[in-house]
Structure 1
């Protein structure tokens, strides 16, 4: 065998091992559910940072106002009175008079990341010790608060976070959703199994005020793109446990063009690259669908090449099923699991491109990422 063949075989073997461990991590996570104590329901404040009007905003916001939970407060943080989402928030306030809902409009900026500024402005009005942060495109069920709060019974826990499944329409959004459920979340489960969770996702971040104070408050992350990652990483560095909840929220993925989707994926890729550079480089050893296809071409369609490709692709699809279907119960993964290899090919191209440049586009702004992961205006 030529050197290139050997290298490609190594990449295929490493990928198959990763897929196998991903399946194991999914099974382990599934058989160890978090117990629910109906008597544990401390009062909480939900912080909802808003910038612009997302798809199905009313449905997303209202889902947080229908919780089977005795005492909670909800605060929407907006930076400008002209924001179109305010009209939806005011409608929510009128239709849910029994829920303690506040709208904070404050243009004060504490850093380049405007979302974090919204959070910092909103938290001033928080009545309760425990904060729950969830992005504006997240939708939840009525048992959400009761379940995500449970890990805080352990006083060593400083942060709780959640995985998510995407609600998508259109082939572009569907492809994005498939990659998220079968690839991104597989990586989360593998990381959780290997070293424990040391980061958080914007889908849900449960964090007590005291823990937020220990890491320096929202000011400590005000210039970072990966603000959600930092809200898990910094407490973990201070010795707090970060728990991955077994509650899965819904993420409403807006219908977009292929160009918009690629730009979004490039932004996330560069965000991961600066947040976890070695982890990002290590993704090379997980693209088995690409490596096996290249090996088949390099070996000119030999039997060995076909055998390696079939084994690799079967393991990839099994991992996608274990995570996307079994753990996330993602209807898109159930219906379009066969699209995973195509998604991997596209994602590999985005991964390669993620090494180039440091400019991103986010919420209409053109920003530049520093080596430390901070945002500066371009």
Structure 2
């Protein structure tokens, strides 16, 4: 806390920012703008310090001009006052003394102060870091604004006229019932109750005797009016087990649009309508931004914080760049609506069986042929009944390995897009260029970053999240600190363990199976 003895112009210390973080976490329950007010107050104090003269200032400032005084040359004889004894004058107050450094004269042994090459490079590097840091705050701002305007702004599609003029949708649902998800029946039933006039459900199960087969059969009996089929056994067309599982369903699909949807997703009645409404004539893919349903337990909170902050920020930013025509690919296959005729031109989904990240290459192929990619207004609601920290970290590690293999420059950019790594680097740059205190600037960076992520989470959630600010801070810190370790682990062990096999990635995403299974994390 600011102490009275320091004065209003004192530079902010690390304890001030710690006080502010705790105050924003525990205080003012129900007012999300508290942190913003506190940050503004402390920044105002900081600005006042830099604009007010210090008690050790070496010049006098007057309203009209600034005057510098230098000390006179020393004399061997004492100074003789010129004032008359009969008319004594008041002694003026001593003036501050400034030592002025002058350039060395020719022949003098003194040298003028110049910057060495190392110092120049140091300043240039610090400037580049601050520019990159400022650019990342632009990403924060764009993600927040675009998320506010895009998410939960559902489009209406006229379906009252029945099947006439409505694009049909074939929904591919790859299922794996081992281990059994306790929420599987709840999630699958939401697909039977979709409010859309023309769709079919194609459930794909790899193994005979999978417990998910019984659940699908129960739901098909409960909703006989829904066009649904179940395919068992799969068809091996590549190394990707998901592609092999979906291949029979893809061959049986009969509609113009194809929706690939993971088993752990929960759909709202108007979700499919919203996605089809975004499928304009120039769009080839409509995908949902991954998010999570409200579930109990700290692992569920951790997942919601991740998908609602850093992941959502980059997903929305890259999605906007693609919508503006920059050709950026940020599509995920968790819930992805595609034009089937474009995939048929490539030879169907079997042509992508050599990749593990089939969703990325689906989007790349469609995008290279001039089709646009759009984000639906509703997020993909993940609702897995089994939620563990170890499983979650394994998913993040696998995704990191895929990004490194598909987009190699991720090796350089990804670590510096995380809060903690970027904060450590930019705090050094601030000490070089701004002469700021290292710890103070780092705490300022971390606090403002967490505030921006809190705003982002509220936008994605479409309201306040179902947990306290304290739980948010704990989960957010764990996620940000673990990001660097996940990246290092992905670099150290490039082998991916997925489903029942292990795979090694070559550059640009091509996968090849390995004989020994390596457990991720």
Q: TM-score, normalised by structure 1?
A: 0.88
Q: Which residue of 1 aligns with 2:236?
A: 109
Q: CA offset at residue 316 of structure 1?
A: 1.7
**1:370 is the counterpart of 2:506:** yes
SS in structure 1 of the partner of residue 262 of structure 2: coil
Q: Which residue of 2 aligns with 1:137?
A: 264
SS in structure 1 of the partner of residue 338 of structure 2: strand
**Is the CA contact (8 Å cut-off) linking 1:162 and 1:204 kept in structure 2?**
yes
Q: CA offset at residue 271 of structure 1?
A: 1.0
**Structure 2 residue runs without a partner (length 5+):** 1-117, 160-164, 515-521
SS in structure 1 of the partner of residue 508 of structure 2: coil
Q: Which residue of 2 aligns with 1:165?
A: 291
**1:99 is the counterpart of 2:226:** yes
Q: CA offset at residue 103 of structure 1?
A: 0.5
How far apart, CA to CA, are the structure 2 residues paired with 1:71 and 1:110? 29
Q: 1:24 aligns with which of 138, 142, 156?
A: 142
**1:290 is the counterpart of 2:426:** no
Q: CA offset at residue 180 of structure 1?
A: 2.3
Q: Which residue of 1 aligns with 2:192?
A: 65
**Is the CA contact (8 Å cut-off) linking 2:187 and 2:266 kept in structure 1?**
yes
The 10-residue stretch of structure 1 (128-137 or 190-199) with the greater mean CA deviation from structure 2: 190-199
Greater RCO (Cα-Cα under 8 Å, separation 6 or more): 1
- Tell me the matched-pair count: 375
Q: Which residue of 2 aligns with 1:49?
A: 174
SS in structure 1 of the partner of residue 288 of structure 2: strand
Backbone CA RMSD of aligned residues: 2.9
SS in structure 1 of the partner of residue 311 of structure 2: helix
**1:120 is the counterpart of 2:247:** yes
**Is the CA contact (8 Å cut-off) linking 1:63 and 1:141 kept in structure 2?**
yes
**Is the CA contact (8 Å cut-off) linking 1:158 and 1:240 kept in structure 2?**
yes
Deviations along 1:283-331, one digit per CA (max 9) or x if unpaired, are 23322333435777998xx962234223322332233234322134383
SS in structure 2 of the partner of residue 360 of structure 1: strand
**Structure 1 residue runs without a partner (length 5+):** none
Q: CA offset at residue 253 of structure 1?
A: 4.1
**Is the CA contact (8 Å cut-off) linking 2:235 and 2:247 kept in structure 1?**
no
Q: TM-score, normalised by structure 2?
A: 0.65
**Is the CA contact (8 Å cut-off) linking 1:63 and 1:140 kept in structure 2?**
yes
**1:316 is the counterpart of 2:449:** yes
Q: CA offset at residue 22 of structure 1?
A: 2.5
How far apart, CA to CA, are the structure 1 residues paired with 2:391 and 2:481? 18
SS in structure 1 of the partner of residue 156 of structure 2: coil
How far apart, CA to CA, are the structure 1 residues paired with 2:485 and 2:416? 14
Q: Which residue of 2 aligns with 1:208?
A: 339
How far apart, CA to CA, are the structure 2 residues paired with 1:195 and 1:208? 18
Structure richer in helix, relative to its length: 1
Q: Which residue of 2 aligns with 1:352?
A: 488
Q: CA offset at residue 341 of structure 1?
A: 3.0
Q: Which residue of 1 aligns with 2:472?
A: 337
SS in structure 2 of the partner of residue 31 of structure 1: helix
**Is the CA contact (8 Å cut-off) linking 1:110 and 1:222 kept in structure 2?**
yes
Deviations along 1:143-180, one digit per CA (max 9) or x if unpaired, are 1111010122x211111101121235432343233222
